[in-house]
Structure 1
Amino acid sequence: MKNLFLIISLLFCSSIVFGQDIFSAARSNDTTFVKQYIQNRGVIDTANVRGFTPLILGIYNDNFDVADLLLKNGANVNAQDKSGNTALMGAVFKGNPRLVKLLVANKVDVNQQNFNGATALVFAATFGQNEIAKNLLESGADKSIKDFTGKTALDHAIFQENSAMVEILK
């Protein structure tokens, strides 16, 4: 009975350590740890208190290698944080076209909305990511989707006075 309790305790403690460390590994592009975590059957779509998954954190920190590794091992490309934001929205916000292409290649939902109704295309329009907006449109982004304020990506581009983006979205 004592041994069983010890084994259960060790398993519990190791899962807590892995649960915390996978987030640090994703932030720091530590593919060695992520590979070990996956081999030990760690839950790659686990989320921290803010709802960030390792994929979302890897993308947000511009860590292509970790993101690619997580995606190749079945990470949910459309996972949302507690605000409904996705890895794609993070890549657009950060202005990283390489990560956007990685997510698109892994069949991300380019029209997924966050809890304010914004899509990745709205993010591109709001943050002036013109080339990424073109890529999203080529990948099937729907420019007619409205956020919860009733604005489309074009409306956001007009508000930002981004004439190049306005032309892209017309």
Structure 2
Amino acid sequence: MPDHVAAPTQSHTNIDNLPAETVSFAHRMFDAAREGNTELLLQAVDAGLPVNLTNDKGNTLLMLAAYAGHAELTKGLLQRKADPNRLNDLGQSMIAGAVFKSHDEVVRVLVEAGADPRIGKPTAIEAAHIFGRKELMEVLGAKQGDIGANVPTPLSARPEK
């Protein structure tokens, strides 16, 4: 299913009601987020493109930039009030995605912007634990009780018998 334009809320707009040029432009903007085309995307947002525009999977421009590891674009979108706590249609957070992809700088940028490491499934803290990313646990502010018994522990972190 193709990317589509959505309102700055979680609801989606039916792309059948939009002109082909609008849909094509939205595709270019989602591609710019994935590719890290900071100049193009930030100019478009500054010109009126909704900063929390979502595609057909509920991924925002910020999610796509963060997941692809584009720290400068992530910062620019956050400065323009992109929501660091949006979840996609699968209930995944962008900060957990950045942990999963080992984009540590993006994780730090998102934390500084107020991204909640305890939302989504798995949470960013759970993802850091699952993948043995101990150095990120402190960055994420992990506390006792953040990792439930149902969260897998990596073999490298299990005590030897």
TM-score by length of 2: 0.78
1-structure distance, mates of 2:22, 2:32: 15
Gapped regions of structure 2 (runs ≥ 5): 1-17
User: Whose helix fraction is larger, Structure 1's or Structure 2's?
Assistant: 1
1-structure distance, mates of 2:45, 2:21: 14
Which residue does the alignment assign to 2:145? 144
Checking the alignment, whether the CA contact within 8 Å between 2:69 and 2:106 is kept in structure 1 is yes
Checking the alignment, whether the CA contact within 8 Å between 1:89 and 1:123 is kept in structure 2 is yes
2-structure distance, mates of 1:93, 1:146: 16
| % identical aligned pairs | 25
2:157 corresponds to which of 158, 163, 169: 163
Structure with greater Cα Rg? 1
Q: Aligned ranges for residues 125-144 of structure 1 at < 5 Å?
A: 125-137=129-141, 141-144=142-145
In the superposition, relative to structure 1, how do residues 82 and 163 fare at CA in structure 2: closer, same or farther (>3 Å)?
A: same
Query: CA RMSD, aligned part only?
Result: 2.1
2:90 corresponds to which of 83, 89, 96: 83
SS at match of 1:162: helix
Gapped regions of structure 1 (runs ≥ 5): 1-10
Give 1:145 shift.
Answer: 3.9
What code does the residue aligned with 1:131 have?
E
More contact order relative to length (CA 8 Å, sep ≥ 6): 2
TM-score by length of 1: 0.74
Give 1:13 shift.
Answer: 4.5
What code does the residue aligned with 2:127 have?
F
Which residue does the alignment assign to 1:123? 127
Give 1:16 shift.
Answer: 2.1
1-structure distance, mates of 2:134, 2:97: 15
SS at match of 2:126: helix
Total equivalences in the alignment: 142
Does 2:29 match 1:22? yes
